[in-house]
Structure 1
Amino acid sequence: MPIYRIAIGSPGEAGHPDAIRAAFAEFFSMLIFVFAGQGSGMAYNKITNNGPATPAGLIAASLSHAFGLFVAVSVGANISGGHVNPAVTFGAFIGGNITLLRSMLYWIAQLLGSVVACILLKSATGGMETSAFAISSDISVWNALVFEIVMTFGLVYTVYATAVDPKKGNIGIIAPLAIGIIVGANILAGGAFDGASMNPAVSFGPAVVSWTWTHHWIYWVGPFVGAAIAAIVYDNIFIGEDGHESLTSSDF
């Protein structure tokens, strides 16, 4: 991957109206996604009176996150590209599709959106706990890290194939749906082991509100590593030097 594609960006970019609008779009998309996803888990706990996890609960979490992400990506796609995930933004940066300064704006907006969603949930539910992500007692920290790397690889690989690749053609129309489905499928695969975050912001909001930071680093390192690998693999093998072109925010 040619290093010249990676761009820092100009200082004035942070204050550009388009960049500000894009950051707001990421904030609201993340708020919608976390409110739906985290809220579904809180509703499950209320219905079961904080009972043990069940297959039905895992399926419900998968569907709520898939549907929520489908909507969150769709509503932000024409403004910010609909990243709704710091790891996706990092993968786009590694591929030279977004500058570092714009990425930082996205990261701040995404983290704030997640925190605000969790605060709203806690307030609206009368103080119910917004549970932080945690690994299962029968797997190790390194098992959980591998889960996050592989699942996020699948997510960002899907993003590149359906949204970033200049040759995507009409497949770009279903990008939000494909992205939502891969996240839902990964939750079915890894949800019982480490919660299947794939998204540092999704983990950050509940951690802040509940002030629980045990093994929190996994939910940053794993997604960022998985995103970087996916970006490098897809960009080098399937886009290549001849197929790469600058993308606007409306493309991604």
Structure 2
Amino acid sequence: MPISRISVGTPDEARHPDTLRSGLAEFISTLIFVFAGQGSGMAFAKLTEGAANTPAGLVAASIAHAFALFVAVAVGANISGGHVNPAVTFGAFVGGNITLLNGIVYWIAQLLGSVAACALLKFATGGLETAAFACATDVSAWNALVMEIVMTFGLVYTVYATAIDPKKGNIGIIAPLAIGLIVGANILAGGAFDGASMNPAVSFGPAVMSWNWTNHWIYWVGPLIGAGIAGLIYEFIFIGHQEPASADYQRLSA
């Protein structure tokens, strides 16, 4: 059963050079993704004198995030698996594809990469605000929570289908492309309601830089629930226990 593969791991494994290299790759990939995604919103707001919350702004954010995530996943895939998202790492963990301690290394790297990207943006733009994620005025916290659960479920299900499933075959660049596209599509679907995070790291960096933690819990709880459900469903129903997970997302071994 997939649940039997869930493992805490060992401290030596978490300190292994391969794990540390994977953490560094996650830091760099997350920095690339957040810098481009958050920066596109800041640039659009500057060019339109603060009118980023428009249909054009939503499309621009969707395209920027889709392209940036495509690149971020692709450049990290051969080193860390290209998670670029604590929710993806959690989804891989509940399916037994990464140990808990290695997952914590990934989480730390992803969160630091997001904070670093937002700090660089603030410095490079002369102090422009990196705005925290927030719900629209007519959207409750519970509405946003459901939105985050559903969107992240779609994202992590796509990760499993294109990158983790051992039956996926040699589809190469299709995995990062599909992952980028589902995020772009979800931003078009949910961006006007709660910002469409699907990624606790993406929400964490702007929250730190603006020190605005209003409803921040939504952007952790929703993605983690959605990722966990997707990981369990795909592992139990579509992968099972006959074959090992793909090399890109296997547990890192000492």
Q: In the alignment, does 2:18 pair up with 1:5?
A: no
Normalization by structure 1: what TM-score? 0.97
**Structure 2 equivalent of residue 54 of structure 1:** 54
Matched residues, percent identical?
A: 74
Matched with 1:95 is: 95
Offset from partner CA, 1:176-222 (integer Å, 9 cap, x none) = 00000000000000000000000000000000000000000000000
- Aligned position for 1:205: 205
The answer as to whether partners of 2:40 and 2:60 remain within 8 angstroms in 1 is yes
The residue aligned with 1:38 is 38
- Name the TM-score, length of structure 2 as normaliser: 0.96
Query: Contact (CA 8 Å) 1:163, 1:251: kept in 2 or not?
Result: no
Listed as ranges, the gaps of 5+ residues in structure 1 are none
Could you tell me which amino acid in structure 1 is paired with residue 216 of structure 2?
H
Query: Which runs of at least 4 in structure 1 moved beyond 4 Å after TM superposition?
Result: none
- For the residue of structure 2 that corresponds to 1:19, the secondary structure is helix
TM superposition shift of 1:52: 5.6
**Which residue number corresponds to residue 247 of structure 2?**
248
Deviation of 1:246 (Å): 4.4
What residue in structure 2 maps to residue 108 of structure 1? 108
What is the rounded CA distance, in whole Å, between the counterparts of 1:172 and 1:222 in structure 2?
A: 30
Q: What is aligned with 1:22? A: 22
Q: SS of 2:167's equivalent?
A: coil
Letter of the structure 1 residue corresponding to residue 97 of structure 2: N
Computed over aligned residues only, the root mean square deviation of the Cα atoms, in angstroms, reads 1.3
Report the count of equivalent residues.
251
Q: Which letter does structure 2 place at the counterpart of 1:238?
A: F
Q: What is the CA distance between 1:236 and its match in structure 2?
A: 1.0
CA contact (8 A) 2:41 2:52 kept: no
- The Cα offsets for residues 83-114 of structure 1, whole Å up to 9 and x where unpaired, read as 00000000000000000010000000000000
In structure 2, the residue matched to 1:231 is 231
User: Could you say which residue in structure 2 is the equivalent of 1:215?
Assistant: 215
Instruction: Give the whole-Å Cα distance in 2 for the aligned partners of 1:177 and 1:204.
Output: 24
Q: How far apart, CA to CA, are the structure 2 residues paired with 1:195 and 1:159?
A: 21
TM-aligned CA deviation for residue 247 of structure 1: 4.0
Residue 170 of structure 2 aligns to a residue whose secondary structure is helix
Aligned amino acid, residue 166 of structure 1: P
Shift of residue 14 of structure 1?
1.7
- Alpha-carbon distance in structure 1 between the residues aligned to 2:96 and 2:249: 16
The corresponding residue for 1:189 is 189
- Answer whether contact 2:94 2:232 (CA < 8 A) is retained: yes
**1:107-148, CA deviations, whole angstroms, 9 ceiling, x for partnerless residues?**
000000000000000000000000000000111111000000
Distance 1:52 1:97, change over 3 A: closer
Match in the other structure for 1:72? 72
Partner amino acid, structure 2, of 1:77 = A
Distance in 1, matches of 2:248 and 2:158, equals: 18
Distance of 1:79 and 1:99 partners within structure 2: 16
Which residue does the alignment assign to 2:169? 169
Bigger shift: residues 165-174 or 184-193 = 165-174
